[in-house]
Copies of this chain bind each other. A is one copy, B any other.
Amino acid sequence: MAIGIKISLNEKLFLRDPQETALGQKIIKHSILLLDEIGFEAFNFKKLAKRMESTEASVYRYFENKHLLLIYLVSWYWEWVSYLIDYNTMNIEDPKRRLKIIIETFVYASKENPAIEYVNESVLHRLIIAEGSKAYHTKAVDKENTEGFFINYLKLSQKVSDEILEIKPDFPYPHALASNLFEMANNHIYFAQHLPKLTDVTVSDENYDEVEQMIEYFAFSLLECRRDK
């Protein structure tokens, strides 16, 4: 049961707020499960409606189309990771320790936190890994960015960037490193599972420790590095 967590998202992403009604919550729940199962391309509102025992027209009353639903879920995820970072780094003073926790959070987005009953965070994480980047790789990206559709990702990136500067105030690429850590975490879990020659780590089951170690290695090499010459 979610106590005190309200995921706040851009209202332009939906026609009716799905968090507010039972049907809306069912849409969120089953769209995550079905998208994870069959992938974004094969997914449509008719199949979703059938799966959740409702009708296509009802789903269309909440979301304009599946692309906006995906952005909604991805935003939900970004906001959720933000929340987890705040929660997990609370009262931790050492900025390096804080960054390690951030990396752990990127890699294990959900570990032991069943916060909101209609979202299965670990399935959502798998979905983001596989489909997340499709949310902003479209022709409408500029228009949608203007309308704030990606604000949760930008805020997450900014938060991590701030932490990076705590560790090394003169680091020249804090935003790039922040987004790269996030993308790398997702990419290399995916690569390890599907295109293992593109990475050097292996994952088994839900154990992503090697990914976590690698991202730490990359991050701290960049931040604690004195260059030879």
**Which residues of A does B touch, CB under 8 Å?**
38-39, 41-42, 67, 130-131, 133-134, 136-139, 141-142, 145, 150, 153-154, 157-158, 172-176, 178-180, 183-184, 187-188, 190-191, 194-195, 197-201, 214, 217-218, 220-222, 224-229
Contacts and interface: CB of A to CB of B under 8 A. Distances in A.
A220 B225 CA distance: 10
**Most chain B beta-carbon neighbours within 10 Å: one of A180, A191, A227:** A180
21 contacts: A41-B138, A41-B139, A131-B137, A133-B133, A142-B194, A145-B195, A150-B195, A172-B200, A173-B201, A173-B217, A173-B218, A175-B199, A176-B184, A178-B198, A179-B198, A218-B222, A221-B222, A222-B225, A224-B228, A225-B226, A226-B227
Nearest 10 interchain pairs by C-beta: A225-B225, A39-B139, A179-B198, A154-B197, A176-B199, A173-B200, A141-B194, A224-B228, A221-B225, A175-B200
A197 B136 CA distance: 14
Given A133-B137, A176-B188, A220 B227 contact: yes
B214 A176 contact: yes
A228 B158 CA distance: 26
B197 A158 contact: yes
Contacts of A187: 179-180, 183
Contacts of A175: 197-200
Contacts of A172: 200, 214, 217
Contacts of A220: 227
Q: How many copies does the complex hold?
A: 2
Contacts of A218: 173, 180, 222
Contacts of A130: 137
B154 A198 contact: yes
A189 B190 CA distance: 22
A189 to B, nearest CB: 12
Nearest to A41: B138
Given A175-B197, A224-B228, 5 more contacts: A38-B139, A41-B67, A134-B134, A157-B198, A222-B225
Nearest to A179: B198
Contacts of A176: 184, 188, 191, 198-201, 214
